[in-house]
A and B are shown apart, each in its own frame.
Chain A
Amino acid sequence: MHPARRGIRSRIGTAELAVATVVTLTAALALVFFYAPLEAEQGFLQKIFYVHVPLAIVSLCGFVLGGIFAIAHLRTRRAVWDYRSYVSIHISLVFAAATLITGSIWAKGSWGHWWVWSEPTLVSFLIVFLLYATYQPLRFAIEDPERQARYASVFAVTAGAFVPLNFIAVRLSTAYLHPRVLGSTSNLPGPMALTFLVSLVAFALLFATLCSFELQMKRTRAHVRALRRRLSFEGAASRAATSSRSAAPRLPATAPRSGGLA
């Protein structure tokens, strides 16, 4: 297929995802505030649940996805998998930060404290967040792009395996105050369960849209760099610009394109 046509197809993919995200997010907000009933114990404060929990689930799944992409990179040595892993972890980190902030706001309203250090769910999520916060500095510390991609993939696989282990360990612990969501969703009343599921789909779509958008941006940037390299026979300044150090993976200009994560 002609590169320009592939580009158009890819852009349409992101645009469709964006439209689906806006529609689903609007529907989720409408359901949260105008359809879902007030919870008996927590009242209006429970509305935070519809944004906090989907964010947490999507971010943890994104970290695992980053690990899966990293396995694909280690197996095939194709830079595009490293790119996908990097973008997945990057967006998951943003979602995880939002999870921590919304969780703290909920804790303040519900428990009267911004943070409870004795609560395993909170601390374990913070550990996962801090673990992944070292991903970017790790990449930036390694100058050679090949080594950077390899080491980052090993990190992503190890940390990705830690996420479900950590989740299981926390669920096995008995002393917790944090409400359980997975496993108890079936006990939610119908309107609440529907609202939660729509919110979860909305945030999953938001994640996919942002990933697709960032992948497309980075791919275009790689092409601009490749073009600059081709023209750089004339000036040393442009050569210096293309050899600058970066934490982001470097895609070869001939890397295969795709519209989304897969």
Chain B
Amino acid sequence: MAFLLGVLPALPLGKAGRYVAAAYIVVFAVVLIYVAIMALRLSRMERELGELAEETTVVEAEAIEPLVEETTV
């Protein structure tokens, strides 16, 4: 880190530096936005999976209930 801080001031951060910084920031922002969208989709899918798991539990419980009643009769 100390090495980086020692080297960074040597970079020409004048007019050209601003354009270069802007270009690199744009690229990483685009990738970041894309990954954020994917993360949102992933969380939605996790929610859907949770709902499905709940539904499965209900369906299984409904399927087992008559069997339990039959055995008790």
Contact = CB atoms under 8 A, between A and B. Distances in A.
A221 interface: yes
Contact of B11 (A33, A206, A221): A33
A228 B11 contact: no
Nearest to B14: A44
Contacts of A214: 38
Contacts of A42: 16
Contact of A231 (B23, B27, B41, B56): B56
A81 interface: no
Interface string B36-60: 0010011001001100100110010
Interface string B1-42: 000000100011011110110111011001100100010011
Contact of B26 (A102, A109, A210, A221): A102
A179 to B, nearest CB: 15
Nearest to B19: A109
A48 interface: yes
A94 B16 contact: no
A102 B23 contact: yes
B45 A224 contact: yes
A48 B20 CA distance: 6
Interface in A180-223: 206, 210, 213-214, 217, 220-221
Contacts of B48: 224, 228
Interface size classification for chain A:
20 to 34
A97 B30 contact: yes
A43 interface: yes
Nearest to A213: B38
Contacts of B30: 94, 97-98, 101
B2 to A, nearest CB: 15
Nearest to A210: B34
A234 B59 contact: yes
Contacts of B42: 217
A220 B42 CA distance: 10
B68 to A, nearest CB: 20
A106 B22 CA distance: 10
Contacts of A117: none
Given A34-B7, A210-B34, A221-B45, A106 B27 contact: no
B23 to A, nearest CB: 4
Given A94-B34, A105-B22, A231-B52, A43 B16 contact: yes
B45 A47 contact: no
Instruction: List the 8 closest A-B pairs by CB distance, nearest first.
Output: A109-B19, A45-B16, A44-B16, A102-B23, A44-B12, A48-B23, A105-B23, A98-B30
Given A44-B16, A102-B27, A224-B52, 15 more contacts: A44-B12, A44-B17, A45-B19, A48-B23, A51-B23, A51-B24, A97-B30, A101-B30, A105-B19, A106-B19, A106-B23, A221-B45, A224-B48, A228-B52, A234-B55
13 contacts: A43-B12, A44-B17, A45-B19, A48-B20, A48-B23, A94-B34, A108-B19, A109-B15, A109-B19, A217-B38, A220-B45, A228-B52, A231-B52
